[in-house]
Amino acid sequence: MDWQPMADKVGAEVRGVDLATINGEDLYALKQLVYDRGVVVLRDQSLSPEEHIALAERWGGIDINNYFPLQDEYPQIAIVRKAADQQTNIGGAWHTDHSYDQVPAMGSILVARTLPPSGGDTHFAHMGAAYDSLSDDLKAEIEGLQAFHTADHVYKADGIYAHTDIGKDLRGHDVKTGAFHPVVIRHPQTGRKLLYVNGSFTIHFVGKTREESLPLLQRLLDAALTADNQCKVVWRPGTVAIWDNRTTWHNAMNDYHGYAREMHRITLSGDALAA
């Protein structure tokens, strides 16, 4: 498989692969690249909705999103969109999807459908490199810690999005979430140690209040977002990105006001996480 790194520690751009037909050893190699590099970008793809779903099924199970609007004919596909007259975007803060679930989703296959002339890039950061960068003292401090994750404050009827101009587009206001996960996990496929907290859904450490947890949590968040631990996906027509929620955080830039952006996302089922 022909690929080039997008940055030193995170991301890969793959050439010469047709996602509509990839299977067997090539699909296995693509999976391993996603697990290792965190996010893989493929250009000049022309996936139909049926091919998008078939690719996800060959990869593994599909998780149906509880919050985003779904395609009427293809409910496996969630629509991530911002209209030209809207100011708020979905995912415009550093996070990892579904950390609030008992068994978090493995990742996503995101297909670009409608793009602004420029902007709307998605940034990624590598949580294996983030863990490696921690001092020995900080690694010892978080060893064995667990943290509580939830999305209720974001998606509930009076949550963050409800007070914005995209609130009416979202679903799942009554869904209740909450999960405890180790702060340091081992990747289920690679065995690499990963930092597993994020600024959007991690609320507090077990045995501490939110206020007591914030200083340590902020130290971990800051350690993850060094300039050399990030890459940027610049979207173009025909671009598909596949990422691993365990290995990365991501952040969708909201810098294209006045233009529409629509992406089609399938969420890939994951594995239970362990320290």
What average pLDDT does the segment 176-189 reach? 97
pTM above 0.75, yes or no: yes
Pairing, β 261-268 against β 146-149: unpaired
- CA atoms lying within 13 Å on the CB side of residue 1: 25
pLDDT over 90 (residue 120) = yes
pLDDT of residue 14: 98
pLDDT over 90 (residue 177) = yes
pLDDT digits (tens, 9 = 90+) for 199-246: 999 999 999 999 999 999 999 999 999 999 999 999 999 999 999 999
pLDDT of residue 53: 98
**Angle separating helix axes 24-37 and 49-59, nearest 10 degrees:** 80
pLDDT digits (tens, 9 = 90+) for 55-88: 999 999 999 999 999 999 999 999 999 999 999 9
pLDDT over 90 (residue 137) = yes
Average model confidence (pLDDT) for the chain?
97
Whole domain around residue 25: which residue ranges? 2-268
φ and ψ at residue 187, rounded to 5 degrees: -60, 130
pLDDT of residue 31: 98
Q: How many CB atoms within 10 Å of residue 96? A: 28
Examine residue 136 and state whether it is found in any structural domain, yes or no.
yes
Supply the Cα-derived Rg of the chain in whole angstroms: 18
Examine residue 274 and state whether it is found in any structural domain, yes or no.
no
- Tally of domains within the chain: 1
Q: Which has the closest alpha carbon to 78: 41, 111, 39?
A: 111
Measured CA angle at 159 (ends 156, 161), to 5 deg: 100
pLDDT digits (tens, 9 = 90+) for 84-106: 999 999 999 999 999 999 999 99
Q: How many CB atoms within 10 Å of residue 117? A: 8
Examine residue 201 and state whether it is found in any structural domain, yes or no.
yes
Q: Which has the closest alpha carbon to 195: 232, 175, 220, 215?
A: 220
pLDDT of residue 83: 98
Examine residue 263 and state whether it is found in any structural domain, yes or no.
yes
What average pLDDT does the segment 12-24 reach? 97
CATH code for position 160 = 3.60.130.10
Examine residue 275 and state whether it is found in any structural domain, yes or no.
no
- Calculate the alpha carbon distances from 106 to 31, 68, 222, 237, 257 in Å: 11, 18, 24, 25, 31
What average pLDDT does the segment 127-145 reach? 98
pLDDT of residue 1: 83
Q: Which H or E run contains 203?
A: strand 202-205
Examine residue 273 and state whether it is found in any structural domain, yes or no.
no
Contact 55, 20 (CB under 8 A): yes
Contact 177, 152 (CB under 8 A): yes
Examine residue 26 and state whether it is found in any structural domain, yes or no.
yes
